[in-house]
Structure 1
């Protein structure tokens, strides 16, 4: 009888330990996956905003030169055109990648608000 009591105590402790390990593992893995997706989203947004900033630098340069009545230097124009082309490619690339990690609403906002920006000057 005493052996049965010891066996049942061991079995209940083992069951509780296994159940706790399973729940801890499941919750921990779920949290890790959410953090990983958030990290991917954040990285995607940072890349998009960096590319947009590059485009705005070009716009600012042209606007400033226009306001001051100065011509556009050929070397600067080539420099900004190259950077702008790369920024537009980056925005489109990040938009395609982002469609896997963002919500449908975020993808629509990027598509309707940012992608048209890449069409300027084409």
Structure 2
């Protein structure tokens, strides 16, 4: 059986050489060794056998699900959309700013919840790796 090879020079084969002359054996490279990795550092982190749960996708998916259900409800109820449009016409500027701040606060709350879930997941993974 032959050793794995890599191209020696792209011009060597084009200059009339054979395929055997244009290839050389691959060097033995240890992962993480100098020249073998991108930064030369070793990665001693334990490898998890289970895939991580992507909590951000789950939480944001639930948020968008709720928004979709509310939107469908407003668009399918006969008078609900008209009532919403009439209410929006009479909202004062201060109330509109307050609702905008409330929406931004809700986004910050969801983002913080996702961060807490990710931190808890990492702490649990570290605890499992330590024991």
TM-score scaled by length of structure 2:
0.29
Higher share in helix: 1
Higher share in strand: 2
Which has the larger Rg?
2
TM-score scaled by length of structure 1:
0.31
